Amino acid sequence: MSSTNKQQHHHNQDELHSVHLIPAADRKVLGLVSGVVYSPNEVDEQGDWTSQEDIENAAHNFVKKARKIGVDHKGRAGARPVESYIAQGDWQIGDELVKKGSWFIVTEVTDAKLWARLESGELRSFSWEGKAKLIPGIPDDPNDL
Say what the pLDDT of residue 11 is: 29
User: Is the Cβ–Cβ distance between 35 and 42 less than 8 Å?
Assistant: no
In this structure, the strands spanning 91-93 and 31-38 are: unpaired
Running along the chain, 145 residues long, what does each successive block of 10 average in pLDDT?
35 53 76 93 86 94 90 87 95 91 94 93 85 75 77
CA-wise closest residue to 8 among 51, 47, 55: 47
Integer Cα distance of 145 and 40 in angstroms: 13
Say what the pLDDT of residue 94 is: 85
Q: What are phi and psi of 97, to 5 degrees?
A: -85, 125
User: Is the Cβ–Cβ distance between 100 and 89 less than 8 Å?
Assistant: yes
What are 23's strand-pairing partners?
Answer: 31
Integer Cα distance of 107 and 24 in angstroms: 12
Predicted TM-score (pTM) of the model is 0.78
Q: What are phi and psi of 124, to 5 degrees?
A: -125, -5
Say what the pLDDT of residue 55 is: 94
Residue boundaries of the structural domains of the chain: 20-132
